[in-house]
Amino acid sequence: MSNHNIIEFHASSTTSMSGLARVPGDKSISHRSIMMGSIADGVTQVKGFLEGEDALCTMNAFRDMGVKIDGPVDGKVTVYGVGLHGLKPSSKPLDCGNSGTSMRLISGLLAGQDFDSELVGDASLSKRPMKRVMDPLALMGANIHALEGGRPPLKVRGKRPLKAIHYDLPMASAQVKSCVLLAGLYADGITSVTEPAITRDHTERMLNGFGVQVKTENGQISIEGGQVLKATSIDVPSDISSAAFFMVAASICENADITLKHVGMNPTRTGIIDILKLMGANLELSNHAVVGGEPVADVRIRSAQLKGIQIPEHLVPLAIDEFPVLFVAAANAIGQTVLTGAEELRVKESDRIAVMAKGLQACGIDATPTVDGMIINGVGGQPGTRYHSAEIESQGDHRIAMSFTVAAIRATGTMRIKGAQTVDTSFPGFVQLASSLGLNVQSVKI
């Protein structure tokens, strides 16, 4: 991985944003296109693939297991599938880098192979909880070992016949759901997962696209083992999680009118739009279409005076990755914003509740972390209302680094954001695209 350079972002205020942009491809869909293309029969063509480090980790893992993959070149990737049972043992541990999605989903596929594997990650990933996927896989008959507390590396023993299970997810997690469904392809019988709340359904949609029958009813998703995946073509939508930074940026900027093209509008991911609209954002959707089973639209965002709200808990799983930048929106709103039911934020790339609260407090914003969320009293957005800039420690979390770049729009002085090199994991070219829309941000090698 190329994270040897330590990068800081230096960001300062701006009063005007305009232009058209297409943010990079959806990370969740890019990961899954490689995984499913690899175990499909035939050749899968992908365009709009996110060339970020997380998705490239997934690609390299499958190359290490003997899959021929061409690209990426300008977002185009060709995956020469080896079929459900064609993966080969890797001569070295499979490196998932910073990517929890890679480790959790691939562990489900590896549980059904007839060879042993090891999954490793970087320092951040090595602290993240994997017991949540190990537990259901063990119920299916898999043999997986980890360090104390279920921390990586994960050692997956092969040649274990998997049996179908009915699993009630203890938390709303698309990664755990996806892991169990992918393992279910290798299990004898019908595997089903019941969710406590709706989570993103990219895995189910894409399995359908590869010709696999996945049934969803009343919060239960089920899949029959042994189904063959047939190669297909995938057009990856722009990542709504990446678009979110510019939705908030344009909302809090004094004079903004921007349009983001071809943004993924999967209904399990649009919590950011619903929440911003509740806060009074000026968002318009147009050019609705469906590509490869995934809805997309263009999003026009103009300046708006945001207001504080109690964030409805049913929207929390639909916006879980966008809360760092939503906290910035709340800081610029009139009145109080309260988030509850988001304890999942504490086990992301960083403890996003603690790290965001500390950074906002450093800027002089009244932000109080709670066990499962945050209470933020916004400064309002009138021209001239500013908070001060600060030196922000992003804890190597890409979404925190980008969120404070957005916060700098209404700050005095220069925001110095440390540990920004991980932004490439999800949003290569972030600084260039942000600058093209009017943000004042520079990437500085330390």
Residues known to be catalytic: 321
Sign of CA dihedral 197, 199, 204, 205: positive
Backbone angles phi, psi at 149, to 5 degrees: 80, 10
- Per residue, the 3-state secondary structure of the chain, as one string, reads CCCCCCEEEEEECCCEEEEEECCCECHHHHHHHHHHHHCCEEEEEEECCCCCHHHHHHHHHHHHCCCEEEEEECCEEEEEEECCCCCCCCCCCEECCCCHHHHHHHHHHHCCCCCCEEEECCCCHHHCCCHHHHHHHHHCCCEEEEEHHHEEEEEEECCCCEECCEEECCCCCHHHHHHHHHHHCCEECEEEEECCCCCCCHHHHHHHHCCCCEEEECCEEEEECCCCCECCEEECCECHHHHHHHHHHHHHCCEEEEEEEEEECCCCCCHHHHHHHHCCCEEEEEEEEEECCEEEEEEEEECCCCECCECCHHHCHHHHHHHHHHHHHHHCCEEEEEECCCHHHHHCCCCHHHHHHHHHHHCCCEEEEECCEEEEEEECCCCCCCEECCEEECCCCHHHHHHHHHHHHHEECEEEEECHHHHHHCCCCHHHHHHHHCCEEEEEEC
Q: Beta 76-82 vs 68-73: how paired, if at all?
A: antiparallel
Residue with structure tokens 């520079």? 442
